[in-house]
Amino acid sequence: MIPALLSKIGLPVLVNVVAEALGSVDTPVTRGAAKALRDVDEAIRRGQITPEQMSEANRHTEKMSEMALEERAANIAEINKSLRAEIASKDKFVRRMRPTFGYLMAVTWAAQMFGIAYVIVFDTARAGVVLNAMSSLSAIWAVGLSVLGIYVYKRSEDKKVQGQKEVIFWDK
């Protein structure tokens, strides 16, 4: 939606907006990019870039936006297709995979937290080493908890859709 909106605004406005945004970030790279975009804006104002060239650039921007939207729609369709297959599956493991993963994450998290608490209380000399080691696991936990978050979110959507079907069924 945003790429389509930007393609409708046109390249001159987009160049100006991006130049202003990058100009507010104080790094050599963003300052250089902002200067380059201001130079493009100045060339547009002086007529060094013809209306035909601008029209072609706008057309290209619209086409790139359409392609990006089509790619996003295809990705979402593929995700929905795999989720529908999971829900419709007769295989108990496939249907129960999300809750199983959630329970395993909860048990693992609890075991780790109890282990850390035990070390902090009963083996305080090693607590610093254990806490440093724990921080090394943050990437693994971030991935696992992200997956769990997606599972919970998608399951909530599934329940909403199922509830809507039931409401429609009972209304008849």
Count CB atoms within 10 A of the CB of residue 19.
Answer: 19
Same domain flag for 102 and 62: no
Structure confidence by residue, pLDDT tens digits, 24-53: 888 999 889 989 988 988 888 888 888 788
Same domain flag for 97 and 141: yes
Per-residue CA distances from 133 to 83, 112, 126 (Å)? 36, 12, 11
* pLDDT for the residue numbered 121: 94
Q: How far apart are CA 104 and CA 122, in angstroms?
A: 27
Among 61-65, 120-124, 150-154, 168-172, the minimum mean pLDDT is found in: 168-172
Confirm whether 128 is domain-assigned: yes
Across the chain, mean pLDDT equals 80
Residue 2 pLDDT > 60, yes or no?
no
> At which of 52, 77, 102 does a domain end?
77
Confirm whether 130 is domain-assigned: yes
Average pLDDT over residues 101-112: 89
Same domain flag for 11 and 42: yes
> At which of 29, 54, 77 does a domain end?
77
Q: How far apart are CA 130 and CA 140, in angstroms?
A: 16
**Bigger pLDDT: 87 vs 70:** 70
Residue 167 pLDDT > 70, yes or no?
no
Confirm whether 85 is domain-assigned: no
Same domain flag for 54 and 11: yes
Q: Total domain count for the chain?
A: 2
Percent of the chain with pLDDT over 90: 15
Classified as helix, coil or strand, 27 is coil
Same domain flag for 137 and 160: yes
Confirm whether 140 is domain-assigned: yes
> What are the tokens at 104?
């395993």
* pLDDT for the residue numbered 110: 92
* pLDDT for the residue numbered 159: 65
Give the residue numbers spanning the domain of 59: 2-77
Residue 142 pLDDT > 80, yes or no?
yes
Structure confidence by residue, pLDDT tens digits, 4-28: 554 556 777 878 888 888 888 889 9
Same domain flag for 103 and 167: yes
Run of H or E including 115: helix 92-122
Confirm whether 83 is domain-assigned: no
Backbone angles phi, psi at 10, to 5 degrees: 105, 155
Same domain flag for 72 and 96: no
Q: How far apart are CA 97 and CA 115, in angstroms?
A: 27
pLDDT bin (cut points 50, 70, 90) of residue 120 is very high
Same domain flag for 100 and 71: no
Tally of CA atoms within 13 A in the half-sphere of 32 that contains its CB: 3
Structure confidence by residue, pLDDT tens digits, 58-75: 788 788 888 988 998 888
* pLDDT for the residue numbered 41: 84
- How much is the CA Rg of the chain, to the nearest whole Å? 26
Same domain flag for 105 and 144: yes
Displacement of CA 95 from its chain's centroid (Å): 25
Which stretches does DSSP call E strand in the chain? none
